[in-house]
Structure 1
Amino acid sequence: MAAEAAMHIDLTTTWVGILSLIIFVVGYYFIAAEDKYHINKAKPALFAGTLIFVLIGLYYAFNGLDGSHLHHEIEILIVEIAGIFFFLYVAMTYIEAMIDRKVFSTLRYNLVSKGYGYRKLFWITGLLAFFISPIADNLTTALILSTVLITIDARNKEFLVPSAINIVVAANAGGAWSPFGDITTLMVWVDGKGDFVDFLYLFPAAVLGWFVTAFLLSRFVPDATPPFHSDEKEEKIAPGGKVIMALFAVTIASAVLSHQVLHLPAMWGMMFGLAILKLYIYRMSREVRYDSEGVECPEVNVFSFIAKIENDTLLFFFGILAAVGGLHFLGFLEYFTALYSQFGPTAVNIGVGFLSAVVDNVPVMSAVLKSSPDMGPDFEAHAQWMLVTLTAGVGGSLISFGSAAGVGVMGKLHGIYTFSSHIKLAWTVLVGYIVSVAVWFLQFEVLHLH
């Protein structure tokens, strides 16, 4: 009975709820002020996330509550975090492997040697992000293309910052119209709120919202060309690079099939892909390889790739998801769902986009799905579920770490793409967000094209 009662306790007004909220806000402040205090964002996130659950555990112990419910919720949270953690782990390892095999430096050479200016490169990377993310997911896409940016020009912030924002917005917008383009769309799809083809109807709102933001951002990109000398040595993909690219595509497909067909977590397919990469690298290390000039290539070790991944990004995700999971357990994330009956689903679903930017779209969408609010009659409910899918996905772009894609790019462009640099141009993202919602309203509510 104690465990049953504990499941229904609202801890938001208790000392543990109030203290946990204060810890989250303080931690969030230090994450946002990373440039000011020079504290890596992983440190406050990890501290807040772990401390909140320690306090919850102490509250249960002091009040003699049955901790079985807490233990059960922690296990669920660990599974959710592990899914994202290992998905990132494998994606980052593949990216480091492709960097080592000169895949991105070759792409950079091919783009820059053609005389493309910063603005043309801005549009090329944005378009690639928008159309790759529905297949490869928004986070992986953002990691790959942010790596391309840094190889084009590692110092020009006037080019890098708008382009980084463009990639984050494009990846999130592209992921919104595909069931497996983002974690939130996947959650909605798996929960049966929409069929596969239903998400495709979000394409007009997603593409127009991104285009408006990209157009505004392009005004801040310098009208010049990246540094390139005619005598610059031509870059070519190192031996094994093309095979690794193919294995990465197979790994992404394996992740999708694992979830859709085999009913396994997506990260299971990613780890299978990592196993294939390790086997291939082992085979490479057993062979003597030569580059285009006949020079023997050094031995390749997969652990050298793993050693280079952005561990602070992985730890940030662990910390922030744990912190938000703690607030959800305490009952804070359940409050906004009661607003549906008071303000109507349209207004609240638009607000979800802003909330997902601040808190994180995954737990916000989880709270919406678990509470299952009244979205209206069946036909209207379908339109509203598509709206919240759109806003939760696109809304994460409003703040640099409001989405997995943004956090990934912050890790890759450390010290360049930051919270403060994003905020200065966040108004362009807001304009695009408003356009996306307006297109949804015209399509779904006025023309009823869905």
Structure 2
Amino acid sequence: MFKFISVLVLLLTNVAYATNTAETPNLVNTWVGIATLAIFVIGYFIIANEEKYDVDKSLPALFVGIFTFLLIALYFIMNDLDIKLVHEEAENVILEIAEIFFFLFVAMTYIESLIHMGVFDRLKYNLVSKGYSYRKLFWLTGFLSFFISPIADNLTTALILSTVLITIEKEKTEFLVPGAINIVVAANAGGAWSPFGDITTLMVWTSGKGQFMDFLYLFPASVLGYLVTAFLLSLIVPKTKPAFDADVEVPQMKDGAKTIIFLGVITIVMAVISHQFLDFPAMWGMMFGLVLLKFFSFKLRKKYGSEHFNIFYSMSKIENNTLMFFFGILAAVGALYFVGWLTLASVVYHPNHLGPTLSNIAVGFLSAIVDNVPVMSAILKANPNMDISNWLLVTLTAGIGGSLISFGSAAGVGVMGKLKGVYTFGSHMKYAWTILVGYFVSICVWYFQFEMLKLY
């Protein structure tokens, strides 16, 4: 406990130890550094209470992200500093945002296209007509999320499975809320043990901190932690069955639906290939998949008319507030990193403070609050002296720690957009204790496997 308190003191008093780079000045002790942190905290508070204030989460996120960078630029001009540094950092942030923005854009376009083509209505019919109870459907969607995520990435998986969830049931919150949490936790846990299942795992892998096969050793910790959380959540889910009318007409998928499913799979493969083998951003492969979908849309329009399938109609149905939220929150975190707050990771990793293991455990909580991508970026830049077991631990905690808060991960934000008004910050925090239990189970499994048995 004393060590955790000492870290809080470090964050408040000894910030002078933290540095950005040799070129960028440390701004944490300046008025702009303090203002950036204060504005972020206020914005975070409003986001967390979006239901209370009846404000869309994208508004405070955009304001914080854009305004803080303007403040930093103003500070540089007032103090005759090199404004080029701010310009370069803004470009870096824009590049990071663009990669995520267009990745999301394509994924959402495919999902809306599948909805329009009746794929999810047919899937819902197939599930409900089998007589599965809400609890069985809960486990089914969770397992699908956990095992699809390592291949398709956690965000795409969460978007797809949350769409399935809302087509099964649109009103029963005692099924929807734990079901949504289950999908988010499963997607993040499944993505943690695959080198391209989560962006943070991918960052650690491409930085050379571990080989491809090393990350597979995280499977026991990921799956057991998830199963504990899922079991606790399942106790809340009713054992009753969704209403099903045997006389209802079987939903039929439109012509071309199966081809769009196939193109979606090809798009995911192209995203992996473009990044893993061509050293391109993953969104490049996603955008190529969008090109394929546009070609197919042109073919369907010629054959069946514009009412059958129109890709621009699918684009118009995208949750734009989710995209704007990502833009704002990534810009805000970029500002925090630029002024020097996130580089405090290099201090707490020192053996005189928390040390690697406790710091990596704390990373999970920080990832939930701030966002795991910039946190992992700061850790990799600080490059603390750790062995492979601790690099895998921080991969695990950063990946699954984002599940602790509804918008602590890309998967959570995506599901919030899909189940708007149902899956919210408040509804998530009501059951956050189940995720916390699973989080510590994962850490215990890691400790037993890596530190005691040395099985890696």
**Same fold? TM cut 0.5:** yes
Tell me what 2:41 maps to.
25
Match of 1:86 in 2: 102
Correspondence for 1:416: 422
Q: Residues 6 and 69 of structure 1 are in contact (CA less than 8 Å); yes or no, is this contact kept in structure 2?
A: no
Aligned partner of 1:438 among 440, 444, 450: 444
**Letter of the 1:314 counterpart:** L
Q: In the alignment, is residue 194 of structure 1 matched against residue 219 of structure 2?
A: no
Q: Does 1:328 align with 2:334?
A: no
TM-score scaled to structure 1, two decimals?
A: 0.95
Q: Does 1:147 align with 2:150?
A: no
Within 2, Cα distance between the matches of 1:251 and 1:438?
37
Aligned length: 435
Q: Can you list the C-alpha shifts for 1:189-236, whole angstroms capped at 9, x where unaligned?
A: 110001110000000000000000000000000111111112122112
CA distance in 2, matches of 1:398, 1:288: 47
Return the offset for 1:103.
0.7
Change (3 A) 1:390 1:229: same
Q: How does 1:89-128 map to 2 (within 5 A)?
A: 89-128=105-144
Q: 1:142 Cα deviation (Å)?
A: 0.1
Aligned to 1:359: 370
Report how far residue 77 of structure 1 moved: 1.2
Query: For 2:31 and 2:22, how far apart are their aligned partners in 1?
Result: 16
Query: 1:298, 1:315 → 2: CA distance?
Result: 29
Partner in structure 2 of residue 301 of structure 1: 310
Would the aligned equivalents of 1:443 and 1:449 in 2 still touch at CA under 8 Å?
Answer: yes
Q: CA deviation at 1:71?
A: 1.2
Query: Displacement of 1:113 after TM fit?
Result: 0.6
Matched letter for residue 419 of structure 2: L
**Which stretch shifts more, 331-340 or 123-132?**
331-340
| Larger deviation, residues 74-83 vs 392-401 | 74-83
How far apart, in 2, do the equivalents of 1:233 and 1:100 lie? 18
What percent identity do the matched residue pairs reach? 63
1:130 is aligned to 2:146:
yes
Gaps of 5+ in 2: 1-19
Alpha-carbon distance in 2 for matches of 1:163, 1:135: 21
| Matched AA of 1:348 | S
Match of 2:242 in 1: 226
Q: CA deviation at 1:284?
A: 0.4
Q: Distance in 2 between matches of 1:161 and 1:383?
A: 35
Aligned partners of 1:6 and 1:65 also within 8 Å:
no
Query: Would you say the 8 A contact 1:83–1:265 is kept in 2?
Result: yes
In the TM superposition, residue 319 of structure 1 has moved relative to its aligned partner by: 0.2
1:19 offset after TM fit, Å? 1.0
Q: Kindly state the Cα deviation for residue 337 of structure 1 after the two structures are TM-superposed.
A: 2.5
Contact 2:345 2:382 in 1 (8 A): no
2:412 to 406, 414, 422: 406
**1:282-293 maps to which residues of 2 (within 5 A)?**
282-288=298-304
Displacement after TM superposition at 1:5 (Å): 9.5
Contact 2:365–2:404 at 8 Å: present in 1 too?
Answer: yes
**Cα displacement (A) at 1:340:** 1.0
In structure 1, the gaps of 5 or more residues are 290-296, 376-380
Decide which of 196, 201, 206 is 1:180's aligned counterpart.
196
What does the per-residue CA deviation read over 1:298-350, in whole Å, with 9 as the maximum and x for residues that have no partner? 33211000000010000000000000000000000011321111221000000
Following TM superposition, by how much is the alpha carbon of 1:255 offset from its aligned partner in structure 2, in angstroms?
0.3
TM-score where L is the length of structure 2: 0.94
Q: Does 1:276 align with 2:292?
A: yes
**What is the letter of the counterpart of residue 403 of structure 1?**
S
Does residue 373 (structure 1) correspond to residue 384 (structure 2)? The answer is: yes
Look up the match of 1:429.
435
Any residues of structure 2 matched to 1:206-225 within 5 Å, and which? 206-225=222-241
Deviation for aligned residue 1:6: 8.1
Matched AA of 2:341: F
